[in-house]
Amino acid sequence: MGSVTPASTRDPVATHYDALDRWYRALWGEHLHHGLWGPNTRDRLEASEALLRALVDAARLNPGMHVCDVGCGYGGPARWLAAITGAEILGITNSPAQAAFAREVSADPRVDIRLGDWRANGLPGGAFDAVLAIESLAHFTHPAEAIREMIRVAKPDGRIVIATWITGKSPSRWANRWLLDPIRRTGESPGLAEETAYQKWLKEAGAVEISVEHFGPQVRRTWSNAMLRAVQALFTDRALLRDAVCHPVQTWRLATSAARIWLGYRLGRLDYAIFTYVR
């Protein structure tokens, strides 16, 4: 599939995830994404897998398909997707800590996790049956550039599936100033945008819409669950407590961001969508 351009060590997103690596792995595990919670959902892992099943359906993944996971994190979704569908997954992350963890735990030959910069990925055009972005596009200053690359590396008729949190329609000045802009800053998410922005970027890049599904009410419990586990961890995990003391700024930013995101969903200022398009 070709080589991937190394990620810049000065990338603020990579710095964010590397500095909070212990927290993310302790509280989120291998799945750094929302979950779909229903009335009978037992725990965070079950909710996370429910979201991934929605992506399997959207991308129509089958054995032997070549799939690219843009911003793959620790590779948990890639490993799960390969095990469940039999597809071959190439994941790209710009975080050295995430790439190192993925290399240590990955034993599935169908999964290839690489450290790289998606904006200049060096992958051949038309190489993948499906290209996924699971909550990674908001981290790009210019998501349209990332979307153009997704479409470029997809085969003709290949599916482009983007799972992402989005803002509500036409957010007010108050919502932007006190809620959404702080979330963008503290979560290194400058690309957090409205649904119409994603539709515009995808259309301009040459993709054709199949569906846009909304899951705001189903995902918001992710954040109350995460905050509860974080408080419990501070009293039970000395390593995490030491990490919080050693990285107070990053830890505080993570905590305040989580609280704002939870509030954003409760107030309807945030929503969650899965965009399914075809090249």
- CATH architecture of the domain 12-278 equals 3-Layer(aba) Sandwich (3.40)
Domain boundaries, the chain: 12-278
More confident site: 172 or 29: 172
Query: Mind giving me the DSSP string for the chain?
Result: ----PPPPTT-HHHHHHHHTHHHHHHHHTT--S-----TT--SHHHHHHHHHHHHHHHHT--TT-EEEEET-TTSHHHHHHHHHH--EEEEEES-HHHHHHHHHH---TTEEEEE--GGG--PPTT-EEEEEEES-GGGSSSHHHHHHHHHHHEEEEEEEEEEEEEEPSS--HHHIIIIIHHHHHHTT-TT--BHHHHHHHHHHTT-EEEEEEE-HHHHTHHHHHHHHHHHHHHHH-HHHHHHHHHSHHHHHHHHHHHHHHHHHHHTTSEEEEEEEEE-
Query: What is the structure's pLDDT at 9?
Result: 47
Predicted confidence band of residue 242 (pLDDT cuts 50, 70, 90):
confident
More confident site: 243 or 122: 122
Predicted confidence band of residue 66 (pLDDT cuts 50, 70, 90):
very high
215 to each of 23, 38, 166, how far by Cα in Å?
A: 26, 11, 11
**Residue 107 pLDDT greater than 70, yes or no:** yes
User: How far, in Å, CA of 14 to CA of 19, rounded?
Assistant: 8
Burial string for 96-122 (b: 16+ CB within 10 Å, else e) reads bbbbebbeeebeeebbbbbbbbbbebe
Query: What is the structure's pLDDT at 19?
Result: 78
User: How far, in Å, CA of 128 to CA of 160, rounded?
Assistant: 10
Predicted confidence band of residue 140 (pLDDT cuts 50, 70, 90):
very high
Give me 100's structure tokens: 């190192």
**Residue 33 pLDDT greater than 90, yes or no:** yes
More confident site: 103 or 7: 103
Mean pLDDT of 56-79: 96
Predicted confidence (pLDDT) per residue in 153-184, tens digit: 999 999 999 999 999 988 899 999 999 999 99
Query: What is the structure's pLDDT at 226?
Result: 81
Mean pLDDT (the chain) is 90
Of 57-61, 88-92, 107-111, 189-193, which gets the smallest average pLDDT?
107-111
Q: In what order do the strands lie in the sheet with 88-93?
A: 111-115, 88-93, 66-70, 128-134, 154-167, 270-278, 208-214
Predicted confidence (pLDDT) per residue in 226-237, tens digit: 888 777 777 777
User: How far, in Å, CA of 1 to CA of 26, rounded?
Assistant: 32
**Residue 6 pLDDT greater than 60, yes or no:** no
Mean pLDDT of 90-109: 91
Query: What is the structure's pLDDT at 10?
Result: 65
**Residue 86 pLDDT greater than 70, yes or no:** yes
Q: Above pLDDT 70, what percent of the chain?
A: 95
